[in-house]
Amino acid sequence: MLDIKVIRENVDLVKRAAAAKRITCDVDRLVAVDQHRRDMQTELDSLRERVKEDGQRVGLLRNPKSEWYKRAIAQGKTDAEIKAEADRVQAELARIKPKIKELEDSEGSILQEFEQLMFTIPQPADPEAPEGKDESENVEIRRVGEVRRFEFEPKDHVRLGTDLGIIDIERGVKLAGSRNYILRGDGALLHQAVLRLAQDMMVARGFVPMVVPVLVKEEVMYGTGYFPTGRDQAYLCERDVLSLVGTAEVPITAYHTDEILAESDLPLKYCAMSTCFRREAGAAGKDTTGLYRIHLFDKVEQVIICRNDQQESRRWHADILKNAEDVLGTMGLPYRVVNVCTGDLGMGQVQKFDIETWMPSRNSYGETHSASRFYEFQARRLKLRYRDGAKKMHFCHTLNNTVIASPRVLIPILELYQNADGTVTIPRVLRTYMGGRERIEKQ
RNA sequence: GGAGGAGUGGCCGAGCGGCUGAAGGCGACGGUUUUGAAAACCGUUACACGGGAAACUGUGUCGGGGGUUCGAAUCCCUCCUCCUCCGCCA
């Protein structure tokens, strides 16, 4: 959400920014509705002021003990005259009342439209985000790690996992439909191992671990920017008006909703491991094989809430990016970092770095992490504020990044660490979570 | 799920139809005093939207929504949340 005052004064800029993001929104309509809304408020305010003042007068005129009443008597008015005046004013007010009600009703619908339009205006991208139409124009920033060359014919993770008895896609689909899977034995353990490793690293870096709701209220989805635009990507529990989150970013970022924090509280660093639910609507036929694009996965997410300062926000962005890179680094996985172009940015993101990890079966880097900063876009929607030393109120800045998402990350792990005999060597850092074992063998 | 009770400012807590955005206390902040600190005393201490260059000013907000009334924190309806008891379940 942007500040309506800023939109009013920068209509062209907002339009251009939306165009750069390839997001359609009706800025002109918003500005018109805003004007309408303000006119209406002015009118209503003055009407209400009158009701308030005159209503009070009625009370005083009807109260023989009031100063007003005594003064009127002193001026030579009779009780009957005073009563008549009270009746007159009261009758007049009674006539205004339906008019106010009528105005209030139309104000309601205008406010509603205003809010809806506000929700569709994207946060302008930062100048550091490259201009581009879609993900094909993302810009690679760096590559880290050696891509392994195989001296034998490598298997993809599905073949490998199926042969080892640790991945069972067929039965996953039997139970839950396409894009579902079952991990068993060392597959299940490996999944939990990477999550634990990631969480332990974050805790060591001062992030507060949390366990959060994954079924949340609509306002939380709106607040974080996933609604209304991304509504079709979410599983809804309509009977209860709750939505399953696609990431723990949602509940963590919304944690301090409606609060006014102290500047000294900031930055707040949180992480949470949670299950993530995604409908993958519109992705039919895309990435259909294996554990890449699935409806349900687990993820450790990191979120930072910091002061309203773009430079500081940038620094934390670099920080959370490094956290994720370190997780991949410690597991010895080769990856590259990509600066996401404007056309591939979401509603509220000002800049996003994706980390893509090398996946032999795809013969390319595949996205495993996504680090975004929002400036105050989410904070405005969530009313997430703080007071500075001079007691001035500001919206916070928010940022988030994946720490690890599994089973997607199991793709590079299994494929890159496979051996000619079909076994998989367990990366050293994961062994403590796997009973100290060195390899995964057929079960 | 059934029966009761309760939701007021950062916190505690008054108010139960009018001049109450809300007494009092605590906390926090600023000041006086002090070598410094404490104590004491004085003052300040919500948010949103609108108007205004600003000073300032109008409106709304006492869990949410609706209603009664000239006028509602106060009365009525409804929803939500929390507490207690009973039932059920992990």
Q: How far is the CA of A264 from the C1' of B44 (A)?
A: 21
A152 within 8 A of A420, measured Cβ to Cβ: yes
Protein-proximal nucleotides of chain B (any atom < 7 Å from a CB): 18-19, 47-51, 58-60, 66-67, 70-71
DSSP state of A434: G
Contact between the CB of A101 and strand B at under 7 Å? yes
Question: Measuring from the CA of residue A44 to each C1', which nucleotide is nearest?
Answer: B59
How far, in Å, CA of A37 to CA of A312, rounded? Answer: 36
Identify the pLDDT of residue A67.
Answer: 72
Distance from CA(A265) to C1'(B89), angstroms, rounded: 40
* Cβ of A38 near strand B (distance < 7 A): yes
**pLDDT tens-digit series, residues A221-277:** 999 999 988 899 999 988 788 899 999 999 999 999 988 888 888 999 999 999 999
Q: Which residues is A357 bridged to in the sheet?
A: A335, A366
Q: Active-site residue A106, yes or no? A: no
Active-site residue, from A179, A380, A381, A408: A408
Domain architecture of chain A: domains with CATH = 4-119 (1.10.287), 135-440 (3.30.930.10)
Establish whether the CB of A66 is closer than 7 Å to any nucleic acid atom in strand B.
yes
pLDDT(A392) > 90:
no
Q: What is the ipTM, given to two decimal places?
A: 0.87
Is the C-beta atom of A435 closer than 7 angstroms to strand B?
A: no
Question: Can you read off the two tokens belonging to residue A322?
Answer: 């490094």
Q: A241, exposed or middle or buried, with CB in 10 Å at 0-12, 13-18, 19+?
A: exposed
Residue appearing with tokens 């599994």: A406
Distances in Å between the Cα of A109 and the Cα atoms of A37, A38, A105, A218, A380 are 10, 13, 7, 20, 22
Paired with A216 in beta bridges are A243
Q: Is A278 a catalytic residue?
A: yes
Protein CA A36 to sugar C1' B51 (Å) = 15
Measured CA distances, A67 to A63, A226, A264, A419 (Å):
9, 58, 51, 96
A50 is catalytic: no
pLDDT digits (tens, 9 = 90+) for A54-111: 988 888 888 877 777 777 787 888 888 888 888 888 888 888 888 898 898 888 889 9
User: Closest Cα partner for A271 from A193, A184, A196, A354?
Assistant: A196
- Are A164 and A441 in contact, with CB atoms under 8 Å apart? yes
Task: Spot the catalytic one: A370, A372, A373, A376.
Answer: A370
Query: What is the amino acid identity at position A214?
Result: V
Q: For residue range A406-441, list pLDDT tens digits in order.
A: 999 999 999 999 999 999 999 999 999 999 999 999
- Is there contact between A36 and strand B, defined as CB under 7 Å from any strand atom? no
A93 touches strand B (CB under 7 A): yes
Q: Establish whether the CB of A52 is closer than 7 Å to any nucleic acid atom in strand B.
A: yes
Confidence of residue A443 (pLDDT cuts 50, 70, 90): confident
Look over chain A and give the mean of its residue pLDDT values, rounded to a whole number.
Answer: 93
Distance from the first to the final alpha carbon of chain A:
52
Give yes or no for residue A390 having a pLDDT over 90. Answer: no
DSSP-assigned states of every residue in A193-258: HHHHHHHHHHHHTTPEEE---SEEEHHHHHHTT-TTTTGGGS-EEGGGTEEE-SSTHHHHHHTTTT
The reply to whether the CB atom of residue A59 sits less than 7 A from any atom in nucleic acid chain B is yes
**pLDDT value at position A59?**
85
Q: A300, A249 in Cβ contact below 8 A?
A: no
* Per-residue pLDDT tens over the stretch A320-361: 999 999 999 999 999 999 999 999 999 999 999 999 999 999
Measured CA A431 to C1' B13 distance, in angstroms: 58
Tell me whether residue A408 is one of the annotated catalytic residues: yes
CA–C1' A313–B23 (A): 45
Helix (H, G, I), strand (E, B) or coil at A167: strand
